[in-house]
Amino acid sequence: MIENIKQVHEEVKVRISEVTNLEQLEEFRLEFLVKKGKIQEFFGQLKELPNEQKREVGKELNILSKFTENEYNQLKQNLEEKAYTVSDLDLTLPGIKYNLGSEHPVRQTINQMIEIFKKMGFSVAEGPEAEDEYHNFDALNFPPNHPARDMQDTFFLENKFDKVVLRTHTSPVQIRLMENVKPPIRAIMPGRVYRNETLDSTHLAEFHQIEGLYIDKNVTMAELKATMMHFARVMYGDDIEFRFRASFFPFTEPSAELDIRTKHSNKWMEIVGCGMVHPNVLRAGGIDPEEYTGYAFGFGVERITMAKTQLDDIRKLYENDIRVLSQF
Ligand code: PHE
């Protein structure tokens, strides 16, 4: 009987090595591992043997039985894994979605505007958000009693030495630039500004501006106008209408505001305040107004973003609602 067991052992080895799919494996199981299979048959015969032989034959039979089961189980696992990856892979199932972060719409506008002005030869400069009153007001030709300095508009910071404010606009960076760079100067200055405003659908107490300054010999208002129009056309498309309105800023003379109207909207929208740099401002920056002239402009970035995205409420930009932000 030992001989027969050993023979079946050899047979199992050969047969298992020939199995290549689950169907063949099932045939293998039916032949060797079921109740009426070859191995159980030996166990039946074992009972009939005289006691002195049982030990030795039983040992051999156990080896065969364990070996066959192990081989079977292992091959079954391998074949099932393979079968899964090949035939049960459903390429039409929806995939796993990973949400990537994205640039905030206001940052997108800033970057887009920087690109447009860079192509026109402007460089980028920055200044402090906590600014002294001299740079925020005095050097920009604000008279000492100008209402914009009032507590209602300006956040004052406590400081022992001089009066420091949260800058109410990016124009003080004009002065800092003139103090540090000799003309020609051609730069834009993006940044955060602060005003003590009541919040509503068009006003925030903290927002962004992009300031522009161009100083050289013989700079004219015609160049300012052309630059503003070129910017607006790149930003909003060629078929927009323009309206330059006379305006007032202490630091520019003459001053203007530019409104645009796009094809889709019938509302005029103010996009920028601008003008020719006031001689007092050039002087405050150490530049001779007899030799140089220049223009300056200041965009409200949130307003530009609202027009671009057709958002109707400026506050929506800062509520961090993914349903709003993920649209842009
Ligand atoms: N600083 C002005 C504002 O905050 C905008 C401006 C900048 C106007 C430069 C003219 C020139 O409203």
CA 183–ligand 1 middle distance (angstroms): 21
Q: Which atom belonging to ligand 1 lies closest to the Cα atom of 169?
A: 4
DSSP string, 129-174: SEEEHHHHTGGGT--TT-GGGSTTT--EEP-SSS-EEE-SSSTHHH
Q: What's the pLDDT at 151?
A: 62
Q: What's the pLDDT at 52?
A: 86
Pocket of ligand 1 (CB under 6 A): 169, 171, 211, 249, 252, 273-275, 296-298
Domain ranges of the chain: 2-88, 105-325
Of 192, 219, 251, which is best to mutate to test ligand 1, by the most ligand atoms within 8 angstroms of its C-beta?
A: 251
Q: What's the pLDDT at 226?
A: 97
CA 246–ligand 1 middle distance (angstroms): 13
Q: Which atom belonging to ligand 1 lies closest to the Cα atom of 170?
A: 1
Of 225, 249, 257, which is best to mutate to test ligand 1, by the most ligand atoms within 8 angstroms of its C-beta?
A: 249
The protein residue whose alpha carbon is closest to atom 2 in ligand 1 is: 298
Q: What's the pLDDT at 267?
A: 84
pLDDT tens by residue, the chain, 328 residues = 889 999 999 999 999 999 999 899 999 999 999 998 889 999 988 888 888 888 889 999 999 999 999 999 999 999 888 776 666 678 888 888 888 888 999 999 999 999 999 999 999 999 999 999 999 999 999 998 887 777 668 998 876 666 899 999 999 999 999 999 999 999 999 999 999 989 999 899 999 999 999 999 999 999 999 999 999 999 999 989 999 999 999 999 999 999 999 887 778 889 999 999 999 999 999 999 999 999 999 999 999 998 888 888 999 999 999 888 888 8
Q: What's the pLDDT at 2?
A: 87
Q: What's the pLDDT at 262?
A: 82
For residues 324, 309, 194 and 132, what is the CA-based torsion angle, rounded to 10 degrees? 130
236: three-class secondary structure by DSSP: helix
List strands edge to edge, sheet with 164-166. 130-132, 164-166, 156-157
d(CA 204, CA 209): 12
Contact (CB, 8 A) for 280 and 253: no
CA 15–ligand 1 middle distance (angstroms): 89
CA 110–ligand 1 middle distance (angstroms): 17
- Which option is the CATH number for 105-325: 3.30.830.10, 3.90.850.10, 3.40.309.10, 3.30.930.10? 3.30.930.10
Contact (CB, 8 A) for 164 and 133: yes
The protein residue whose alpha carbon is closest to atom 7 in ligand 1 is: 298
What backbone torsions phi and psi does residue 190 show, to the nearest 5 degrees? -80, 150
Is this model's pTM higher than 0.85 or not?
no
